Homo-oligomer: A and B are copies of this chain.
Amino acid sequence: MKPEVFLYDTTLRDGNQDRKISLSLADKLQIAKLLDAFGFDYIEGGWPNPSNPTDVEFYKRIGEMHLTHAKIAAFGSTRRPKVLAENDPLLQSLIASQAPVKTIFGKSWDLHVTEVIRTTLEENLDMIESSVRFLKENSEETIYDAEHFFDGYKANPQYAMETIKAAALGGADFIVLCDTNGGTMPWEMKSILAEVQKVISVPLGIHAHNDSGLAVANSLVSVDAGVHMVQGVLNGYGERCGNADLTTIAADLVFKLKKQIYCGENMKDLRKVSLALDQIVNIPSDIKAPYVGDAAFAHKGGAHIDGVMKVSRSFEHVDPKSVGNNRVFVTSDQAGGSLVVEKIKELLHIEIDKKDPKVQNLLHLIKERENAGWHFDSAEASFEMLVYRTLGRFAQPFTVENYRVIEDRSEQGVSVSQASVKLRVNDEISHQVAEGDGPVNALDAALRKALLPYYPYMKNVRLDDFKVRVLGSNVGSDAHVRVWSTFGDEDGVWHVAGVSTNIIEASWFALVDGLSYKMYKESLKGNAR
């Protein structure tokens, strides 16, 4: 398969400029493996030079690793003014990295030449040509990034064109036009590209930033106009508003532009790869991300759900499975009973009769709680517990006699939270007290303390996340509160919710559901305790 478009990922260099990201060497190596396995064509690892020891080490280590497809690129800039290219220490560092591909950027915008790097327009042209030539003579492949090309072209078209002609003369294998400040409109990009194509025969690439919300569009418009390389960052990380999002672009190239790309055969892994990167950089995944987000195929409107059930493509631009994602019907008050019945069947692996009074009662309870704000679509364990309890599939193995939380702030300004919980378990009373960092933490501690002697497996249950939202504003401190928590154990995580006008009570509901779900899972394994 000969790719029509090459994907060049710069997560490790430009993505690392993201305000929230700071990659270690181990992160970089892990991400490189991920990108290679998915089938990106080029991986830019960083800027190897003596002031950047992590990147120097990266190239050493990646050189020793076996990659299946991707070429590794080292990034740098053109030589400094008034130095021979072969004597420029930064260009020498690029050679020393032994990366098969060298990518350097140079200045295309006359403003930058005279005001920022402060040299002459002529010297800048020679800096570009001589640097590219030196690298080309010492590397398998050399890519020239024309920084600020579009802004430069708008300011001084002749000069901008001279700069990329210099790169072509130097022997660049690709000339990549950069919208560095992200302010170019798609139609400007298209018409400037057409001018470039009249003059330059070297294959072209595009490098877009998202400052105007257009990085994906500008990349696609450029491919449609004939460029053969897209530089970007998986999940669109990067400085300011981010780089062009290669996750979206890869999918658009395959499903919309029908382009041959090397990773095209792996599109079923797209969501998995996207989530894995979020995990490594430790940033919560964007649920609305095109193609791969949790909500990308989540239908909430009643008419939309109805349409998708009749003909899926009526409200889906691609099949969610084609990118490893799933269709979700958000169980909101708009969704009908038949959807809920489908879910129950799936959970219990049985046929159920919608007219059965128990099922009717369950549907009523679900609707009531949805209206109260439980949002079961993000609290599947609370949904399941409601189903199991109401249909007699789970007998709660403890009852709550009472609980009490005392929150004290002393004259010295010290706060103390204490909770006591009194349960009846197996006909015994378990009455425990605990302190905590805040009332919910204390209540959680006391509840576990009361259960642990009877259910030793509880010690492996983690409370991973805990969020509170007030439902319906403008109602002051007696508004309904929704607590949402993530619990986890060695096998996975589950989500629960609790709703009440009282934040302690809402938290209590969530805690009880979270721990009961663990009990249900254990009961399936035959662990009565």
Contact = CB atoms under 8 A, between A and B. Distances in A.
Contact of A315 (B180, B249, B280, B299): B180
A247 to B, nearest CB: 9
Nearest to A17: B300
B245 A478 contact: no
Contact of A468 (B290, B462, B481): B481
Interface residues of A, number: 133
A311 B114 CA distance: 11
Interface in A209-227: 210-214, 216-218, 220-221, 224
Given A17-B300, A293-B241, A310-B115, A463 B476 contact: yes
Nearest to A328: B19
A141 interface: no
A406 interface: yes
Contact of A26 (B224, B280, B475): B475
A91 to B, nearest CB: 16
Contact of A473 (B251, B257, B280, B403): B280
A409 interface: yes
Given A310-B115, A476-B464, A438 B481 contact: yes
A481 to B, nearest CB: 7
Interface string A300-330: 1101101100110111111000000000001
Interface in A479-529: 479, 481, 485-486, 500-505, 507-508
Instruction: List 5 A-B pairs, minimum CB-CB distance, nearest first.
Output: A183-B317, A217-B217, A26-B474, A438-B502, A24-B472
B501 A437 contact: yes
B22 A375 contact: yes
Interface of A: 17-20, 22, 24, 26-27, 30, 77, 109, 111-112, 115-116, 148, 180-183, 185-187, 210-214, 216-218, 220-221, 224, 236, 239-242, 245, 248-249, 251-252, 256-257, 280, 282, 284, 287-291, 293-301, 303-304, 306-307, 310-311, 313-318, 330, 332, 373, 375, 377-378, 400-411, 413, 415, 417, 436-441, 443-444, 462-479, 481, 485-486, 500-505, 507-508
Nearest to A370: B22
A472 B22 CA distance: 8
Contact of A474 (B30, B289, B440, B507): B30
B116 A417 contact: no
Q: Which of A182, A318, A441 has the most CB of B within 10 A?
A: A441
A116 B220 CA distance: 32
Given A111-B314, A241-B290, A441-B478, 15 more contacts: A19-B300, A20-B287, A22-B332, A24-B473, A112-B314, A116-B306, A116-B307, A182-B290, A185-B224, A186-B217, A242-B288, A403-B409, A405-B407, A438-B501, A465-B476
Contact of A214 (B217, B293, B462): B217
15 contacts: A24-B474, A26-B474, A109-B314, A213-B216, A240-B299, A280-B473, A443-B477, A464-B474, A465-B473, A466-B470, A466-B473, A466-B476, A467-B469, A468-B468, A468-B481
